[in-house]
Structure 1
Amino acid sequence: MRTICFYFQVHQPFRLKPYRFFEIGDDHDYWDDYSNRNIMNKVAKKCYLPMNQLLLELIHKFQGKFKVCFSLSGCILDQMEAYAPEVLRSFQELVDTGHVELLNETYSHSLCALKSESEFKHMVQLHQEKIKHHFKGYEPKVFRNTELIYSDSIGEMVAGMGFDGILSEGAKHILGWKSPNFVYVNAHEPKLKVLLKNFRLSDDIAFRFGEKTWSDYPLTTDKFIGWLNQVPQEDEVINLFMDYETFGEHQWKETGIFEFMRHLPEAVLNRTNFGFSTPSEVIANASPVGKINVPIPISWADEERDLTAWLGNDLQDEAFDRLFELEASVKRSSNPEIQRDWLYLQTSDHFYYMCTKFFSDGDIHAYFSPYESPYEAFINYMNVLSDFILRLKQDEKERIAS
């Protein structure tokens, strides 16, 4: 079997509004509805709607020989419900073709797998329920953790929840001489299959496509097909994993990204010995070649492929630790607004905005952040968290009094 597995991450965070110190205790509305609505509608127009339409056309044109998979965070589904129901309908139409796979993940794109197994399982269950609700009882069999964060222990938890496979990054420091173009198994639970991103070919599309200083610019279908045909014949699967916003948002329409994608499936099917598969199909049809040992968590972020995009400095660690100190109190609360805010405050983007790495990847971090500096992001988040703590204490008092 020689196949290509396209995976797209679809996520938008609920962004915090500017929240000042003197508002603590008075203002319990943390979310920037204006920005969230505008950004959702902008990305829907530039990416989600045109790309979904293109994929639908390609699936019909090739009668199911072209396939893709998505993970849609609970945050993006909530925003589709609130701001862009037509986008949700377009994803439902794609899934209805039977040639699009959906993956499970944490509801709010959380880093909880690094901190709390109970919260991790809770987040996954919430996401499962959300997917079932919107996609006719659909039950994903493959998991994708936030930002492809993976380790042996995270894989164990995922296997324990009954998943057949998990996606992760084909990090050089983990693979060594091995190739990402095979199926592996978790080091502790061999029943869990591990699919690894081919980061070079994925990032050629996701990051370098419109980069005019890149030595291989412009990336054409012919050039990409040439690279695929250079892949050793024994390699079984090319995992092309990327943000869905690559199409039209990170790489603008003017770069030719949509036309590249429009012509790629036909070129692959006619000029290579590759086909297309979903993750479940890869897992079912390819035999694992061995275990992949990942004792320390990896991710798909930055040159290091580690956790330092989110938990790499004192600001991030302080905010993350303070947040999860509240888990037990939140679990005791039945207040739906507290539960909602707890979910959204866990979103990894908040910690990403606090990143102080300004070396190889600083420009990427600055592109995604709505703040002037990581320190501003930290202060704003901690002000919100201070108010959230006061609400939890008041909720506890009222519960005891009743």
Structure 2
Amino acid sequence: MKERQRHVGHGSWYLLVGLPTAMVSMLILPLLVVGTIISGLTALPVLMRALRHWSEWHRRRAAALLGIDIRPRPTELPKGLGAQWRHLLDDTENRRDLRWVLRHVVTGLPAGLAALACVATAVFSVAAALLWQLFPQEEPLRLLGAVPVDGWGTALALGVVQGAGAGSLTWWAMPHLARMHARSTVAALEPSAEDRLAKRVGELADSRAGVLDAHGAELSRIERDLHDGTQARLVAIAMRLGLAREELPDDSGALAKLLQEAHEGAEEAMTELREVIRTMYPPILADRGLQGAVSAVAAGAGIPAEVELGELGRLSAAVEAAAYFIVAETLTNAAKHSGATRVTVRLTRQDAALLVEVTDDGLGGVDETLGTGVIGIRRRAAALDGTVLVSSPAGGPTAVTVELPCAS
């Protein structure tokens, strides 16, 4: 019983408060228009922020009535008028706020009036039954719509019947009506399943980009440590072994053979370490950057290569490494399989993507199923959500176009 009373009280109060707020909400859209006309472009973002606070207050009230937890939506504006307008146009929450205003007016007014009628009728019935004598005889109190009250018996009987009817309706209907309105409010201001999925995909993309950046930075650090530390020590060991071999007398026998094997093993280890470093994170990227590294790999491609570099801006380590390896693998494929006499490498930045284009004048007819190296290029691009387009008709030319997302 107490739980029901609490639901009835909270539901009735929720709807009664919603009635004047729905009346106020009727003025919001005209205020947005008038405020923008009077104050210019600077007013609308501020007014929309005020609307966000207004809708969030209703959203919190509805969630509290339903007993659910909600995540607060951002209410702050970015700095700068341009950033504010971009936020205003791109943020789907703003459109959701505008739709909620219309819904709140359409549903809040009748729901609030229904609550007011039920509660007011119940209170009026009790009060009027006790004060029926104050009404003039020519205009007596009428209860149940049309029955005149002419005595205490009629007043108490009709007052009890009318008050009980209104109270019963309030008891039964108000909690349901309030919860229906609250669910409508939450649904109007909550992201849809598609919006939540898109947001989650964006969060995962940002998370993966951060992981790839961290991975690239870690590979760069390991490369520097191996290059400056381990490789330098191997070089020193190899030099000392070489000096030791020179100092040994000619009749050293087994000792000389052991030193020779150790010396050759150290040199082989250095060669293998250089290959590991080169495939892990090219040192030339750290030394010259992407533009210098691409120019260097094109110069050693084995066929004449022309490099065209646009303004690339700042790129993450993962994107730079992927672009470098893609260019290197494509040039290697062209030199080995295409029979080309010339190749062109073009790197440009288009909005939030790095475009890598490698074109040769070879025989064409690239077949990815034969292990031409394109599969490896596709895998490198796919790791960054990139795309690869290969155009290689029989007779040539062959064009490999790779687009790598690189939004900052």
TM-score under structure 1 length normalisation: 0.18
Larger Rg: 2
Q: TM-score, normalised by structure 2?
A: 0.18
- If asked which structure has higher relative contact order (CA below 8 Å, sep 6+), I would say 1
